[in-house]
Structure 1
Amino acid sequence: MIFPSSTRHRARLLACLASTALAAPALAQEQAGELPVITITGGQAGSITVLTPEQARARLDLIPGGVALVTADQWRDTPATTIKDMLDYVPGVFAQPKWGEDTRLSIRGSGVSRNAHLRGVTLYQDGVPLSFTDGGGDFQEIDPTSYQYVEVFKGANGYQYGANALGGAINFVSPTGRSNPGLGVRLDAGSFDFYRLQSNVGGVNGAFDGYVTGSYISQGGFRDHSSGTNARGSANFGWQANENIETRFYFNATDVQQDIPGAVSKYVALHSPQSANPTNVALDYERNIQSVRVANKTSFILADTTRLDVGVYYNDKSLVHPIFQVLDYGYQDYGAFTRLVDERVIGGFKNRLVAGVNYGTGTVDAQRYTNVYGNAANLVYMSTDEATTTTVYAEDNLYLTDQFALVAAFQYLDASLGRLAYLGTVSGGNDYQLFLPKGGFIWELGPDAQLFGNVSRSGEAPTFSELTNFAVGDIANLKAQTATTAEIGSRGRTPTFSWDVSLYRSWVENELQCQDTGVLMGLTCTVVNLSNTIHQGLEAGANWNFLQGLAVTSPSAAPDGLWLNFAYTYSDFFFDNDPVWGNNQLPGIPRHYLRAELLYKHPSGFYAGPNVEWVPLAYFVDDANTLNTSPYALLNFKMGYEPPGGRFSVYLDARNLFNEAYIASVAVTGRAAPNQALFEPGNGRALYVGTKMTF
């Protein structure tokens, strides 16, 4: 990794090197007073394919934009069933649960109109593409107990993985047998008949290591018709051929059976939040998923200056989805990728180049039947959809000084989506080619502080679910959504304080908006290209140990203390002189969103404290700005005990203590009717307990 001469980078690099075969010569250089300039991680003591959190954090510091790393200890002692539990304290991320493990996610306004499925954020597992080839995705297959940390690349800051969407990318990183040896078991139980059993085992045998984990969740759900079960398992097995080569195989399997309560009117959401939509009950709306995923990633340390990652993946997924019709879809996705990192001195300047290619292709065999009380009756639709996507990308950091780097990047996206019709639709397709450049800088203000900025282009083709025009049954002729974003920010840390702040403005063209039709309960919609829109906002997060030594004052013991952790997101999204909507606010996301926690921590392992979730202003659910949500504030409390060593822990997590009726998620539309079913109520008062043991 490039090593500018700052205390933070020196300490981080040496920490990374300490677990590698390259550590000894680098430490010798340091002791001799020569600054090690370039290193590539490798070695028998740790995994080559999977970076440690410290290595990953040091790599994120080379990105000139909003990024975040969240380790598992921040969500481990919670019920942790959704991506909201994982990313709740990342500013810029708006994640709200709907039912079961499904979540509505938006980063900087990406896919803000989507109330079903994911768009605008690309998902990865250990750097291997996890999203579908067409750009869509789901969260039911994400098990928070299966990952050791998560990387979040906000906006066009995921160029180093080939991500090109407005919302950026999320990379879920797995433990390995080297990082998590031993046997672990956890039990959780709580309100609304929530139960979970999870277990994992990992170990190392010479050049081989392995890690296997599995979990089973059963829950009745807060709302009527929202019960479900979820069985998930994952494993990875690695082999280090030598200190410079490692290959790792990944396996994932999921079986989800989930009822869907559906969207309701605003009045029902606030006055009878446990109610399900009557249509959902009558037609037994469900989302049932069975999936298997296999992947391989191989890393080569070609030289002290060059690293190469290559890999392949295959996904097989079955979706049986009774909604307005019974959807019976079969997905098959496969692809390959390669990524080169080269770090060397060029013309007397330190330089870091990342370049790669992602290729994916996939098919969807789609059949739809009339829904008779949740059962499939007459076949009314049949097609085969095929998507092929190729992304070529490169990003280069050129250090003009040890403290200042210029960053230049580009991506080229070639996406082809086609449909072969058999029944109920017509054949067709669209092709998209996008060139997406980026320029930025990183300035080391001090040993542990950075200023960064960039101007970038992002772009994304419509997914198949968006190209499916339910109004007429044909494939829609939609344009790709593109945006130009300017961003500036700062991040840094001291022993008692860390911060991460970004200010951005995006000029979006042809924004893809999912407009609820008012008859399909927010699960299907007609997607349109909007005219010019603006997404601008402020993302601010901090963690502050502002009081120490409250009860433990002995100089020989670690002090106790109070920690304040908060994440504030300001989102100002609006039409830019639209011929119909003028400068109205874009619907679907609150202007202000705050998560804050005050936690007392004792060196014995005891911790306790309150936390809040606050949306102080209602936000609109339609382009016409005629119907809005309601502001809310939730008070929560958690406490637990995890003695030093981490082999045992117990927690209590109390949520929504005042039993506030509030709206967690919405569908959006052009002009809403007063009682239109667009609102998903949040959960009422809940209490969860759990314990984890490691042997």
Structure 2
Amino acid sequence: MLTLVRSIVLAMLCFVSFTVLLNIEADASTYSFDQKNKTKNNQQKKTVYTEQIVVTALSRSSALTRPAGQTTYSSDRRDFANQIGQSVADMVVTIPGVSFTQGNGPRDTVVSVRGSGDRQSYGLKNLQVLEDGFPMIQPDGTARADLIDPHAYQGVDVFEGPASTLYGNYAINGAINFRTRKGADIHGLELGSDFGSFGMFNNYATLGFGNRHYDLMIFGSDVRGNGFIANSRYNTSTENVRLRVTLTSSDRLILKFVNNVTDAFLPARVSLNQYRANPYQQGCANASSAIVSCASVNLLVNGRYGAKIAMSPEAAGLGRFDRRTVIGLRWEHDFNSHTIWRNQFTYDQRHIDQPTSPTAYVGPYNSYNVSSDITNHGQLAGRALETFAGVNFDYLDFGSQTYNIMPLGGATRGAMSSESYGHQWNLGARFQEDWHFAPDWHIVAGLGGTYSDIGATETLYGYSATAITQRAITANRFYFNLAPEGALIYTPSKDWTLHTRVGTAYGTPSSSNLFITPQGEYGNNTQLKSQTSFGIDLGADWHPSSAISIQATGFYEFYKNELVSQSAGVNTVGSYTFNAPASEHRGVVLGGEWKPLPKMLPGGRVKLSYTYDNQIYTNYTEVLSNSTFSRSFSRKGHYIPGVIPNFLNARFLYDQPDGLLEGLGGYAEVTWRDSYWLDNANRLKAPGYALLNLEIHYDPPTRFGWAHRLHWYFEVQNVANQIYIAGATNISDKLQSDGQQAGAATLMDSTGSIYAGAPRAYFGGVRIRF
């Protein structure tokens, strides 16, 4: 609650200060007229999906936030503003090509574009992540969704497919840009509360004002809950600020500030057998854990060496206690009506304290990002030509330590087991041309490249009754990658847009990948190479009427040295990463919106999002070992584990546009995920599931006076109360004593993989505007 009060006071002080400083007098009548026009225009929008964006005049949006030729889908505020909005999953669930799983913490959603993050245990991987055009990803490719409270956002745009030409390192599957709300659209103060099952309570406030001279949005929230799995209670606070100031007719400053504190206790990931026997880990708090259905961690009794004891995550005190602060400033300058120049600086500090396993991982990660780009709208042979060129440099400096956890509760630290110090920097340049060479055609061509430097030293400590040993492992790796691209867009009529694109991408290993061995222990894994991809998109956007909108894209992508991670078990320090020499990803992404009875039921519509994703190894040989010997197994033709092959979301929505019940609405939603493999040998699958969610909301019409400022909603999630898997990481195959690979019956006992999803839950909320 103190965080919420602090956010409101900060908002008011900032607004008063900036108003006095700038001496801005907004024309109330003009503002009201502008707002009515904006409202009218918003009501006339027919779809939230966007395939290709054609720029015909000078735009103040960067090519990075409106990439020409890239397959693009979007979600707007009307898709998530009327519901609970617990995490980024609520923002992206309706976007074709995007899926998500549960990460390590209540809001640590693993967002995946065309399977980019399906094999990860946390965060947003193999993607570039932006917010209002500012990078929310550090130079080592780490981005996490803890920062995101959906109440602060206007929408999200997802740019799908290989995208390193514009976005550089780690844009192996594309990029995401989150857009916060504009102060002018808020025009006042909004206070809200969400509450519901498992002790969840979220207080939030949004303050916003703006006109042609400035735009200010300040948001603050504090959310807490007990969780539905043992040892999953949490408290997360977030502050988000965006300020745009027009200095002159040709100069603008944009200030960005995000701060997040995550205080979350963390259950351990379980095996498939443990999940089936006890999905929510009930009755395990005091298990010292001889109980087979309970997850446990093995802790050194003296914190240094020798005997170990099994303890539940709750008794051990496992959790994540992290802080993230991002500050960015962008200067935009118009040289003339055709050319705009942008210069941007971002500081990003991530400080982690993560006793998530038998060891606690602690340390600061400070990063700096500088970029400059220029966009020109000119002509070539009498036809419109947009030219974009930019350079960027980012630097990460980190120092981290790991400590053995002792069985004293509260994640008590014992002796240091390792320490790591190092850096990573990326220097890149990018160039793109977008030429409308004929009335219905335009062609896009570009080239980008990045030079990366990763240097780190890890010191491993060993303890015995008589001695302390040290072993140093050094990594000093250099990578240079290029990414060309080309696209062709054809718009034969206002109803059709056809497009094809050839894109390339790359992603270097991060320092954390270089120091965990196949056994899941700290050690030498410094031989990793960059992963690269070459992909082809072919798609169409069809709008035959105001009642129907359909977008479909097929993709085929070829990977070299794909970086794949898998867990070696819950009692290890982390997931092991390896290079698969060759693999292929192919699939179809489909999105649609339909108003089935526009005259009889003008407020009714159906939204559909479907993704088919087929990923296989075409060249990879895995070596498995037991206590006496090793054997090699070809994985050629095997499905890449962790990838959900079919993902479907369908919503049936209704909002009453007029009459006595004007403002009343709701939806029924079905989400279906197919089963998927958990191991490279394709011996064990995570079962699929289908969930039903129901929601009802009410926005009183303007004729109700002050009551018009009040909004409320109520929803039921997982109506059928299904037990399902919300997140499962890959597991390692095993070699038996007879030289054969272990079957499903053995792999079902592999820990460190599964989090159960929430049982039936009830949520409600209110929001009031002043």
Match of 1:449 in 2: 496
Q: CA deviation at 1:236?
A: 2.0
User: Does the aligned pair in 2 maintain the 1:270–1:681 contact within 8 Å?
Assistant: no
Match of 2:743 in 1: none
Distance 1:286 1:538, change over 3 A: same
1:651 aligns with 2:684: no
The amino acid that maps onto 1:67 is T
Q: CA deviation at 1:423?
A: 5.2
1:278 aligns with 2:296: yes
1:596 aligns with 2:650: yes
Match of 1:74 in 2: 79
Distance 1:347 1:296, change over 3 A: same
Distance 1:670 1:422, change over 3 A: closer
Q: CA deviation at 1:492?
A: 4.2
Match of 2:698 in 1: 641
The amino acid that maps onto 1:90 is I
Once residues 158 and 127 of structure 1 are traced to their aligned partners in structure 2, the CA distance between those partners, rounded to angstroms, is 16
The amino acid that maps onto 1:308 is W
Matches of residues 339-358 of structure 1 in structure 2 within 5 Å? Answer: 339-358=373-392
The amino acid that maps onto 1:454 is R
Q: CA deviation at 1:206?
A: 7.5
Q: CA deviation at 1:112?
A: 2.8
User: Does the aligned pair in 1 maintain the 2:192–2:768 contact within 8 Å?
Assistant: yes
Once residues 447 and 186 of structure 2 are traced to their aligned partners in structure 1, the CA distance between those partners, rounded to angstroms, is 37
Secondary structure, aligned partner of 1:178: helix
Match of 2:628 in 1: none
Q: CA deviation at 1:171?
A: 0.9
Distance 1:321 1:503, change over 3 A: same
Distance 1:545 1:391, change over 3 A: same
Which consecutive residues of structure 2, in runs of 5 or more, have no partner in the other structure?
A: 1-33, 39-53, 282-293, 298-312, 462-471, 622-633, 703-707, 735-746
Match of 1:154 in 2: 160
Q: CA deviation at 1:619?
A: 1.1
Distance 1:490 1:38, change over 3 A: closer
1:684 aligns with 2:759: yes
Matches of residues 54-203 of structure 1 in structure 2 within 5 Å? Answer: 60=66, 63-98=68-103, 99-157=105-163, 159-162=165-168, 165-203=171-209
User: Does the aligned pair in 1 maintain the 2:458–2:515 contact within 8 Å?
Assistant: no
Q: CA deviation at 1:312?
A: 0.2
Deviations 1:389-421 (A, max 9, x none): 122111211112121011111110111111134
Once residues 468 and 145 of structure 1 are traced to their aligned partners in structure 2, the CA distance between those partners, rounded to angstroms, is 38
Once residues 245 and 522 of structure 2 are traced to their aligned partners in structure 1, the CA distance between those partners, rounded to angstroms, is 53
Deviations 1:430-478 (A, max 9, x none): 1110011111111113114211111111111012222222535235220
Distance 1:598 1:38, change over 3 A: closer
Match of 1:10 in 2: none
Distance 1:37 1:618, change over 3 A: closer
Matches of residues 300-315 of structure 1 in structure 2 within 5 Å? Answer: 300-315=333-348
Deviations 1:240-293 (A, max 9, x none): 112221101111111110111121121332342211733333432211111222
Deviations 1:595-654 (A, max 9, x none): 101112211111123110112x42110001011111211111111112346743211121
Q: CA deviation at 1:228?
A: 0.4
Q: CA deviation at 1:329?
A: 1.3
The amino acid that maps onto 1:683 is A
Match of 1:32 in 2: none
Match of 1:477 in 2: 527
Q: 1:406 aligns with which of 429, 432, 443?
A: 443
Q: CA deviation at 1:498?
A: 1.8
Deviations 1:207-253 (A, max 9, x none): 34322110000011111111100011011222211222110111111
Once residues 141 and 221 of structure 2 are traced to their aligned partners in structure 1, the CA distance between those partners, rounded to angstroms, is 27
The amino acid that maps onto 2:608 is F
Match of 1:675 in 2: 749
Match of 1:517 in 2: 568
Q: CA deviation at 1:514?
A: 0.7
Secondary structure, aligned partner of 1:692: strand
Rg larger in structure: 2
Secondary structure, aligned partner of 1:118: coil
The amino acid that maps onto 2:650 is A
Once residues 457 and 267 of structure 2 are traced to their aligned partners in structure 1, the CA distance between those partners, rounded to angstroms, is 33
Distance 1:205 1:598, change over 3 A: closer
User: Does the aligned pair in 2 maintain the 1:111–1:513 contact within 8 Å?
Assistant: no
User: Does the aligned pair in 1 maintain the 2:318–2:355 contact within 8 Å?
Assistant: yes
Once residues 169 and 384 of structure 2 are traced to their aligned partners in structure 1, the CA distance between those partners, rounded to angstroms, is 25
Deviations 1:54-78 (A, max 9, x none): x99xx85x73232112122211112
Q: CA deviation at 1:181?
A: 2.1
1:338 aligns with 2:372: yes
User: Does the aligned pair in 1 maintain the 2:580–2:619 contact within 8 Å?
Assistant: no
The amino acid that maps onto 1:317 is R
Once residues 70 and 214 of structure 1 are traced to their aligned partners in structure 2, the CA distance between those partners, rounded to angstroms, is 22
The amino acid that maps onto 1:581 is R
The amino acid that maps onto 1:589 is V
The structure with higher relative contact order (CA 8 Å, sep 6+) is 1
Once residues 510 and 669 of structure 1 are traced to their aligned partners in structure 2, the CA distance between those partners, rounded to angstroms, is 19
The alignment yields a C-alpha RMSD, in angstroms, of 2.4
Decide which moves more: 639-648 or 523-532. Answer: 639-648
The amino acid that maps onto 1:39 is A
Once residues 254 and 149 of structure 2 are traced to their aligned partners in structure 1, the CA distance between those partners, rounded to angstroms, is 20
Distance 1:116 1:397, change over 3 A: same
Secondary structure, aligned partner of 1:140: helix
Distance 1:37 1:581, change over 3 A: closer
1:629 aligns with 2:680: no
The amino acid that maps onto 1:561 is G
Secondary structure, aligned partner of 1:671: coil
The alignment-based identity, stated in percent, is: 22
Once residues 495 and 710 of structure 2 are traced to their aligned partners in structure 1, the CA distance between those partners, rounded to angstroms, is 34
User: Does the aligned pair in 1 maintain the 2:430–2:449 contact within 8 Å?
Assistant: yes
Once residues 169 and 177 of structure 2 are traced to their aligned partners in structure 1, the CA distance between those partners, rounded to angstroms, is 11
Secondary structure, aligned partner of 1:80: coil
The amino acid that maps onto 1:359 is F
Once residues 401 and 346 of structure 1 are traced to their aligned partners in structure 2, the CA distance between those partners, rounded to angstroms, is 11
Q: CA deviation at 1:422?
A: 5.1
TM-score between the two structures when normalised by the length of structure 1: 0.88
Q: CA deviation at 1:683?
A: 0.8
Which consecutive residues of structure 1, in runs of 5 or more, have no partner in the other structure?
A: 1-14, 20-35, 42-47, 551-558
Match of 2:607 in 1: 565
Once residues 415 and 698 of structure 2 are traced to their aligned partners in structure 1, the CA distance between those partners, rounded to angstroms, is 56
Q: CA deviation at 1:591?
A: 1.2
1:440 aligns with 2:476: no
User: Does the aligned pair in 1 maintain the 2:270–2:570 contact within 8 Å?
Assistant: no
Number of equivalent positions: 641
Distance 1:309 1:520, change over 3 A: farther
